[in-house]
């Protein structure tokens, strides 16, 4: 008899289940997790870990390894840029294509962990666009061999570099 009574009370517990209350709670939790996810995506994909720099640029907060990685990539862009300009001047289109390919999309390797979440979306966009433009330049050197067109492509790359350097700087924080 005790077993049937305790079973009856545990069954009554489920009969007292209040679906509207549970649905409200579930709806609240769903909205909460959705907004939290949107906020985190916005913070780590769009905004990054930044602060205003005294000269008006955006200072991206990075550690020493991350800033070394970014500067290494920028030096690679600059080296390719110089070799492309030299190749155009000598009308050596194989040199132009080779130098441009070194800074194209294939260099998208693994960045240090956490770096992608620290840099703003606009910074990432400029970097990817610069790599894409180097690829276009490499293809144009093979196909068109037109120095004026190649210089216009090189100028577009320089505009990306200038836009990035006028907009961003780095603040080294942590180890």
- 5-36 residue pLDDT tens: 554 555 555 555 566 666 677 677 777 777 67
Neighbouring residues of 173: CB distance < 8 A, sequence distance ≥ 6? 61, 62, 63
Cβ(137)–Cβ(84) under 8 Å?
A: yes
Query: pLDDT tens, 23-70?
Result: 677 677 777 777 676 666 555 555 567 778 899 999 988 989 999 999
Asked if pLDDT for residue 160 goes beyond 90, the answer is: yes
Query: Does 59 share its domain with 139?
Result: yes
Asked if pLDDT for residue 119 goes beyond 90, the answer is: no
Beta strand 168-172 with 50-52: parallel, antiparallel or unpaired? unpaired
Three-class secondary structure of residue 93 per DSSP: helix
Asked if pLDDT for residue 168 goes beyond 80, the answer is: yes
Query: Does 63 share its domain with 10?
Result: no
Query: Does 79 share its domain with 65?
Result: yes
Q: Of the candidates 89, 82, 86, 98, which has an alpha carbon nearest to the alpha carbon of residue 139?
A: 98
Three-class secondary structure of residue 170 per DSSP: strand
Query: Does 16 share its domain with 102?
Result: no
Query: Does 100 share its domain with 15?
Result: no
Q: What integer pLDDT is reported at residue 50 of this predicted model?
A: 72
Q: What integer pLDDT is reported at residue 3 of this predicted model?
A: 53
Q: What integer pLDDT is reported at residue 89 of this predicted model?
A: 95
Q: What integer pLDDT is reported at residue 12 of this predicted model?
A: 52
Q: Six-digit token pair at 116? A: 């992608």
For residue 75, give its domain range.
Answer: 51-172
CA distances from 19 to 29, 69, 75, 136 (A): 15, 54, 62, 59
Mean of all residue pLDDT scores within the chain: 82
As for how many domains the chain has, the answer is 2
Q: What integer pLDDT is reported at residue 117 of this predicted model?
A: 81
Cβ(115)–Cβ(68) under 8 Å?
A: no
Query: Does 89 share its domain with 149?
Result: yes
Query: Does 11 share its domain with 80?
Result: no
**What is the pTM (predicted TM-score) of this model?**
0.72
Query: Does 39 share its domain with 65?
Result: no
CA-to-CA distance for 104 and 130, rounded, in angstroms? 8
CA-to-CA distance for 162 and 164, rounded, in angstroms? 5
Return the number of other C-beta atoms located less than 10 Å from residue 1's C-beta: 5
Query: Does 43 share its domain with 73?
Result: no
Average pLDDT value for residue range 71-97: 95
Cβ(67)–Cβ(112) under 8 Å?
A: no
Query: Does 131 share its domain with 153?
Result: yes
* Continuous segment of H or E residues that includes residue 1: none
Query: pLDDT tens, 129-156?
Result: 999 999 999 999 999 889 999 999 999 9
Q: Is the dihedral of CA 35, 40, 43, 46 positive or negative?
A: negative
């Amino acid at each position: 008899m005790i077993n049937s009574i305790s079973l009856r009370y545990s069954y009554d517990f489920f009969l007292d289940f209040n679906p509207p209350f549970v649905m409200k709670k579930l709806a609240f939790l769903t909205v909460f997790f959705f907004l939290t996810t949107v906020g985190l995506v916005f913070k780590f994909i769009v905004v990054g870990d930044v602060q205003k720099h005294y000269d008006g640029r955006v200072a991206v907060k990075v550690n020493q390894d991350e800033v070394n990685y970014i500067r290494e990539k920028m030096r690679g862009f600059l080296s390719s840029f110089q070799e492309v300009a030299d190749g155009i001047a000598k009308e050596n289109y194989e040199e132009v294509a080779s130098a441009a390919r070194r800074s194209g999309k294939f260099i998208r390797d693994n960045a240090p962990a956490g770096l992608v979440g620290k840099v703003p979306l606009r910074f990432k966009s400029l970097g990817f666009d610069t790599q894409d433009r180097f690829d276009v330049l490499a293809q144009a050197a093979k196909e068109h061999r037109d120095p004026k067109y190649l210089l216009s492509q090189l100028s577009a790359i320089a505009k990306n570099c200038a836009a990035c350097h006028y907009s961003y700087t780095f603040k080294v924080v942590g180890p």
